[in-house]
Structure formats: C-alpha cells, structure tokens
Amino acid sequence: MQFASPLVHGRLIQRYKRFLADVELDNGEIVVAHTTNSGSMKSCLVPGADVYLSPSPDPNRKTRFTWEMILINGQWVGINTAWPNLLAFEAIQKNKIPTLNRYTLIKREVKFGDSRFDVYCENEFERCIVEVKNVTLKEGEFARFPDAVTERGQKHLNTLMEVKKQGLRAVMLYVIQRMDVAYFGPAYVIDPVYAQTLKTAMEHGVEVIAMQAEVSPFGIELTRQIPLVL
C-alpha cells in the first residue's frame, strides 16, 4: 500500500482526547491531527519524536491532517488503524499471507449475525471470514493486543467461534505495524478476559495469524508472519 500523496513531517507535542494530537511541523506551525487509534497507544507516545501526517483532501474537515506514524528507537511505527484492513485485503488478493491464498472471491466488510467482519474469502472448497486487528503495543520482543480493554474485540472472537461452528473457516489476523518485535501474544495484564477468550477461540478451531508490516513514509507493506506465543 502506497500513500496517495506525500506525507508531512513534524514532531509530536501531545496526544489528547483520544482522537487528537498536537504536532509541530518543520516550518514551526502547530497543527491538530486526527488520531484514528482509540486505544491507549502505550509504547507509541514519545513527545518530541518524529511523526508523519497525511493531509486531508477534504477542505471542510475540522482537522487538516491524520497522524500516520511515529519514529520509535529509529523505526517507524504505524498508528493509523484504518490501514490494516486494506493491507490484509490486498495481501490476500496477492497470495502474500501463508495459508490465506488461492481464494477466487475476496470481499471487504461482510456481515455475520450482528457483527461486521473485515474480509470474506471463498473458493470451490471453502468459505472463510477474517477479522483484522491493528497491533502497536510492544513489550520486550513481543507485540501484544489489545493495548486497552476491548469488549468489542471479545465479541468478535465469540462470533468467530460461531462462524467456525457453522462450518466456515474463521481467522483472526493481527497486523503488527512495527518491525522491532519477534513474537506476538495477547496482552494478559491489560485485558485478561480477551486473552482467555482468544485461547478459547483457538481451542474451538479459530485460526490466529500474526503478520508484521514494514512502515515507511512512502507506504506500508506486510512482510512476514511471526510466531504466536500464548
């Protein structure tokens, strides 16, 4: 995935009210950027760190920019939660995710019961529903999810178990927008209920895939699958 227009460089001043961040641009102007990430963004908030923003094409939008990434320990970390769904969709189309390949029909945003999932795949042998989550939290060598308690995430796992029960393939896909980790696992301390629900989902046949994304000011690409450690 390549960015449609050049990003704007600045330095983070602060993030506040969950969806806003103050950023000082290179010309000294201080702007308010929209932050799509509703989580705590733990391990991703370093005042004074380099950031990149994308300009909004809508002249009527209240915030002129969207916060895309931040430089942590010399590496870019993608914090825009809007991209993982598209990254997953494009990667599945191009057969770039191990075990999620050879599908002839791939669609985004499909309903199942009272939930909406990110990707639906189909071929002559099976039907598959994929839920995608954005991961930015780093603890040592581990990427972890979630970075805040998520009842919505728990609901998605429960619905994936129902998907599997009804004979479809059910996949939980974590997109890790940072390259400075080697393993993925649930955030037991932050949301023990989610962690336990993930274990239960796997016991009921829900597949878990953790894919790492390389983030740069030019674009974001899924690069490799990393091990899941429960």
Q: Is the pLDDT of residue 98 over 90?
A: no
What share of the chain has pLDDT > 90, as a percent?
Answer: 90
Nearest Cα to 141, choosing from 170, 194, 179, 189? 179
pLDDT at 87: 96
> How many DSSP H helices and E strands does the chain contain?
3, 15
**pTM of the complete model:** 0.94
Task: Give dist(CA 171, CA 228) in Å, integer.
Answer: 14
Nearest Cα to 12, choosing from 86, 69, 84, 93? 69
Nearest Cα to 21, choosing from 7, 35, 11? 35
pLDDT at 76: 97
Q: Is the pLDDT of residue 60 over 90?
A: no
Task: Give dist(CA 173, CA 102) in Å, integer.
Answer: 17
Nearest Cα to 175, choosing from 89, 62, 94? 89
pLDDT at 113: 80
Q: For the chain, list the domains and their CATH numbers.
A: 8-77 (2.40.50.580), 83-225 (3.40.1350.60)
